[in-house]
Every structure is written in structure tokens, then in C-alpha cells.
Structure 1
Amino acid sequence: MTPVLLSLSALLAASAWTAPAAGAAPAVPAGWDKVDAAELADIAGEPAARKAPVADVSAQAEEPELLAVQSLVNNKFVSTEKTYPAPDTGVLRARAAQYTGSWEGFAFEWDETTDTYALKSLANNLYVAVEKNFTGNGKNELRARSTSVGGWEQFVLYYHEGLDRWALQSTLNGLFVTMENGYTGSLQYALRARSTEISGWEEFNLYTLAP
């Protein structure tokens, strides 16, 4: 299925949001705008919104805030690897050709107090955390493993209207989420919050799972 371009011009024109304070996080490149819950809901509900390429599954998501995430590097959808052994149980990887069910679905939950999103995996009903204390290739990897939301589970969502692309930034370390296309083995295509810029590997499509 060919993605349908989204337009945020009307929404973002009225936005007064700015990048995080200096010193708190890497500078957000020009053209990338922070998106709040109302804007995301409007986008998901638009007739022209992207609809996930869906396999033949019996149950589909019904709420517009339920989304599939696609890497623009390898054009694969992000899955929750809930059957992976510890310590990588629940790691997020861009490895699915289409939305096949809950493994590729995420609820984007908005918190007005912190102006951040929490991502809840539909595969295991756990929140996505940034593993800041991991070492090696797993450092700062994204894993769906938390039952509640704290600093490790909070993200800022950005959109670039001109490029029609999305990016996620962890508030835990201030870094942007990257898809590790160059990895090999079980962590190939894993998502990690480790980049100080948005330059390609940090760019994603969002697809609504609403009918």
C-alpha cells in the first residue's frame, strides 16, 4: 500500500511549542515541530491519514491513537519482540513488512503534565522504556517492559511537514530514537535513543490502525 501524505499546516501554524531548553537536550533541527495529543488525534482521524498495510488478521485496532511505526530506512514496521530472552525481552525492532497484529501496534498515551507521550505496546500491554543502564549494543535500546510510566518511558513526538516524517526524542537522555540498520544478529534494526540529531535513521512514518 502506498503511504498517503499527511498535512499538518493548519495544525502546526497555530502551535506555540518550542524545542527543549538549551542544555537539556540536543537542538531540534529546523522544520521539526512538536506534536501534542489533539494534533495527533486530528491527524489520525483525517480521511487522508495513512492506514497501515494490514495482513489477514481477525481483530483490528479501533482507536485513532493506536498507531504503527515504520522506519524510513528499511521501510519495515516496528515490532515488539516479546519472545526474546532476557535482557532483550520486549525490544523494539523495525523488521515487519506489514502490520500483522498486536506486535506492530502501539498506543500513544499523552500526559498533559509533562507534555510527553508514553508508548504502550499492544503485544504485551507494557510501556516502552529506554534502557539507559544497558551496555554495548543494547545501551539505550527501547524495550516494552514497564507496567507504569516514569522518566524512562517518556518521549517527545516531532513532525516535519515538508518531509512528512516523524521523530521521537527520549526525555530520559534527550536523544533521538534511531533504527540500527547497520547492526547484525538479534538486535538488527533495533530502536535506540542515542542520536543527537535527526538525519535519516531517526525518521519514521506513523500509520493509524483505525478502520
Structure 2
Amino acid sequence: MTPVLLSLSLSLSALLAASAWAAPAAGAAPRADRPAAVPSGWAKVDATDLTRIAQNDGARQAPLAAGDVSAQAEEPELLAMQSLRNQKFVTTEKTYPAPHTGVLRARSDAYGGSWEGFAFEWDETTGTYALKSLANDRYVAVEKNFTGAAQNELRARSTSVGGWERFVLYYSESLDRWALQSTLNGLFVAMENNYTGSLQYALRARSTTISGSWEEFNLYTIGA
């Protein structure tokens, strides 16, 4: 069966308009549930909202890898991420050698299967998500102890979830885009478009705010 990706963005505007998570108007004062670094117009998304969005029937189809017939996810929390900066899908580099085994990079032209798939697991107590890669069944961690260009890179390498593996998910209704914030260091995930070599397009939690396409993503449900 040919895989289908359904965009979460198209149905969220109507959802937020009637939801307690509705985004504030431009120029509004920061809300108590939003850190000062989060620009006005960006709102947190919880598990209930994400599930309802993922079940929308009218979303558009995303580009697929030619000839792909990989098995499809059945749960709506299984998602693919596409960088707004370079229009590439985020992939888990599970075959990379240490210390970058499992690093996340926005480098695929289309969704081709588990390499580009992630399970977004909600934790009600902390109000955060853990991301588990479908490529290697490992949770995504922020490598704050790495140094240099690799500091705070995202790697799918953990077998359990702690502070290193927690993220807050945000959505902007006006921009129709998504962003991730690490709870480990309070920084937003950016795609390193200007990197070269094996870490080109790597994802790192290193931005103090959502400044543009570097920190913005499309999300797609993985459906049948």
C-alpha cells in the first residue's frame, strides 16, 4: 500500500479558533503558559489537539519517495517533519558512526518510510512530548554536553525518557507552521542549513526564539 502523509496544518486554524489553546493576537502580552522567548502568535499544542488534527480527512498529501511501499503507521501520533528552511524531511541517520549515530538531519526530498517517521508521545504531567524515531526505536535527545558545531544536536539514541528527551510543541496559526522547544536548555530546534559535510542540515536545540524558517517545520501524519 502506498504511504500517504497528511498535513496537520490545514485543519489547525479552525481548531485553535474554538480552543483554549487559541493563539493571541499580534502584539499581545506574553501569556502565563508561554515563555517570554516565544513570539506572540505561537501557541502550545497538547495531545488532544494533536490527535484531533491528525484525524482530519481533508488534509493535503505530501510528496512521497518514488516506488515506496513501506508499511504504514496506524496511530495518528506518528508524524513526519519537514523543514521550512530547505523543504526537506527530517531523517534519523541510524547508520552514522559514533558519536553522531542517530543524528537528525533535514535531508530527504520525500517521506520514504521509517527513516523519516517519528512517534510524538505526550506526557500529561509535564505537558511535553518525547519523540521516538521509527528508524531505530530510540528517543530523540538533546546532546547538551557535545561541543563545537555539534553542541545541542538532536540524536535518536535513548531507550527511555528523561529531561534530555522532552520537548514543547508550538503552532502559529498565522504562519501555519510548527516549532519545537527543548525543555533541557529552553532553546528552540533549528535546522543548520549552512553546515557542510556529514552534519549539513542537522537539527540542534540552539535558538533563543523562533526567528524564521530555521526554527519552523511542517508536520504530516503518516496514514494509509
Report the counterpart of residue 186 of structure 1 in structure 2.
Answer: 198
Report the counterpart of residue 92 of structure 1 in structure 2.
Answer: 104
- Work out whether 1:116 is the aligned partner of 2:128: yes
Report the counterpart of residue 70 of structure 2 in structure 1.
Answer: 58
Matches within 5 A, 1:24-35: 27-35=37-45
Structure 1 Cα separation of the partners of residues 49 and 197 of structure 2:
38
Structure 2 Cα separation of the partners of residues 109 and 49 of structure 1:
22
TM-score, normalised by the number of residues in structure 2: 0.87
Deviations 1:51-101 (A, max 9, x none): 442332231222111000000010000000000000000000000000111
Match of 1:198 among 189, 210, 213: 210
Structure 2 Cα separation of the partners of residues 26 and 90 of structure 1:
32
Deviations 1:126-185 (A, max 9, x none): 000000000011000000000000000000000001110000000000000000000000
Q: Which amino acid aligns with 1:38?
A: T
Match of 1:136 among 126, 132, 148: 148
Report the counterpart of residue 42 of structure 1 in structure 2.
Answer: 52
Structure 2 Cα separation of the partners of residues 206 and 67 of structure 1:
6
- Structure 1: state its 5+ residue gaps: none
Q: Which amino acid aligns with 2:217?
A: F
Deviation at 1:208, TM superposition (A): 0.7
Q: Secondary structure at the match of 1:59?
A: coil
- Work out whether 1:161 is the aligned partner of 2:165: no
Identity of aligned pairs, percent?
76
Q: Which amino acid aligns with 2:20?
A: S
- Structure 2: state its 5+ residue gaps: 23-30
Q: Secondary structure at the match of 2:215?
A: coil
Structure 2 Cα separation of the partners of residues 28 and 19 of structure 1:
11
Q: Are the equivalent residues in 2 in contact too, given 1:51–1:209 (CA < 8 A)?
A: no
Structure 2 Cα separation of the partners of residues 37 and 177 of structure 1:
20
Give the root-mean-square deviation of aligned CA atoms: 2.0
> How many aligned residue pairs are there?
208
Q: Which amino acid aligns with 1:204?
A: F
